[in-house]
Amino acid sequence: MKYANLTGWGFYVPERIVPNKELEKYMDTSDEWIQERSGIKERRFFEPGKDTVSTMAFEASKKAIEKAGIAAEEIDMIVMATLSSEYFFPGPGVLLERLLGLKDIPAFDIRQQCSGFIYGLSLAEQYIKTGTYKTILLVGSEIQSGILEMSTRGRDLAVLFGDGAGAVILQAGDSPGILSTHIHSDGEHAEALFMRHPGSVNPDFITTEMINDGELLPYMNGKLVFKTAVQKFPEVIIEGLEHNGLKTEDIDLFIPHQANARITEFVRQKLGLAKEKTVSNIHKYGNTTAATIPIALAESMDAGLLKKGDLLCLAAFGSGFTWGSAFIRI
Ligand code: UT7
């Protein structure tokens, strides 16, 4: 059996930095409220005409390909995680394939929101383990600022989310690699964090009333999401530790999905993980959904926070609800 090894990584964030102070101009909020409730100081917003979900994915992918020391032509499959595809269909996997100058390889689009990267990792792992493919490009890329409303009506979500992309190259090897991935979902609260329109429940698809009534905005029951996240994160991490016969102390670096610094801190304390082993970059980028983990992973690798043989733990929770963890030997 082959293992999936992490051989390349890269990230791209748009140039435009939007500090909390700027949001104060558009809505009734404050730098103090945002920092205290979420830990976010600033985020990046895409540049219309320059950045798209697939061009940002392309920038991150180029870095990952270069780091892996491979040619793009060696990629056997693309897995693209996003909730913010540039078109309603097709998804951006094929657009990324086109930008990379590739043809005929499979390109998946994963719609598991904040857990998208871990779901993608799990999918890629299976193809490598079974020997079907040798080299897989996995990307998370999001442009979310376009679906947020920069007004007091939209503030619940507008202050939390940002844009960015992260990519990894996974390659078949004889030693670990990905040790295991653990993915879950529960549709009971599908509408606790969702965007109803445009969707097929409405016979007219999109109407001017929807736009005027603010129905084309995402909705989140923040308290329920928070409460469930702090329960599911530790659960799915412990599941992975037990599966591999490992203990919390064996984790060298923990990269959680960055939804809220308070969630990360709660999970860290619950697991008894050291602060210096827990990655937090939410202050710089906000919540970039499927791009969050690969951005933090690429930053951590570039900063030398992980060395050969280290144990990396990834975990995410988000809309669906979906959640998951992954254990990777670097
Ligand atoms: O990645 C996907 C998963 N997402 C998450 O995991 C997010 C989970 N939830 C959270 O992170 C938190 O629930 C939030 C950061 C969204 C909100 O924090 P909270 O401590 O749960 O605040 P709250 O929703 O209870 O709001 C407290 C107050 C309310 O006012 P009242 O009712 O106490 O008068 C809100 O209206 O803060 C008000 N508020 C705001 N004030 C200033 C809500 N949004 C804002 C805002 N600026 N942007």
pLDDT, tens only, 204-242? 888 898 888 888 899 999 999 999 999 999 999 999 999
- pLDDT tens, position by position, 52-89: 999 999 999 999 999 999 999 999 999 999 999 899 99
Evaluate if residue 199 carries a pLDDT over 90: no
Instruction: Kindly report the protein residue whose alpha carbon is nearest to atom 11 of ligand 1.
Output: 260
pLDDT score at 42: 98
Mutate to test the pocket of ligand 1, among 21, 226, 289 (most ligand atoms within 8 A of CB): 226
Considering the domain architecture, whether residues 33 and 153 belong to the same structural domain is answered as yes
pLDDT in tens, 262-291: 999 999 999 999 999 999 999 999 999 999
Last residue of a domain, one of 156, 175, 194: 175
Phi, psi of 64 (to 5 degrees): -65, -40
Distance 233 CA to ligand 1 centre (A): 20
Domain harbouring 59, CATH code:
3.40.47.10
Q: Are residues 18 and 144 in the same domain?
A: yes
Phi, psi of 81 (to 5 degrees): -105, 125
- Indicate whether residue 114 lines ligand 1 (CB < 6 A): yes
Q: Has residue 96 got a pLDDT over 90?
A: yes
Residue nearest atom 41 in ligand 1 by C-alpha distance: 29
Query: Which residue CA neighbors atom 47 of ligand 1 most closely?
Result: 29
Q: How far is the CA of 39 from the centre of ligand 1 (A)?
A: 12
User: 165 with 246, same domain?
Assistant: no
Which residues form the catalytic set? 114, 257, 287
Amino acid, res. 209: E
User: From ligand 1's centre to the CA of 56, what distance in Å?
Assistant: 29
Q: Are residues 10 and 134 in the same domain?
A: yes
Which of 175, 193, 228 is the endpoint of a domain?
175
Q: Is residue 298 within 8 Å of residue 93, measured between CB atoms? A: no
Name the H helices within 166-221: 208-212
64 and 137 assigned to the same domain: yes
Do 312 and 163 share a domain, yes or no? no
* Residue among 325, 319, 326, 327 at smallest CA distance from 110: 319
116: its two tokens: 């998208």
Q: Which of 124, 155, 175 is the last residue of a domain?
A: 175
| Confidence grade of residue 142 (pLDDT, cut at 50, 70, 90) | very high
Q: Which domain holds residue 272?
A: 180-329
Average pLDDT (241-254) is 98
Cα 96 from Cα 260, distance rounded (Å): 30
Asked whether residue 215 falls in the same domain as residue 82, the answer is no
Maximum Cα–Cα distance across the chain: 57
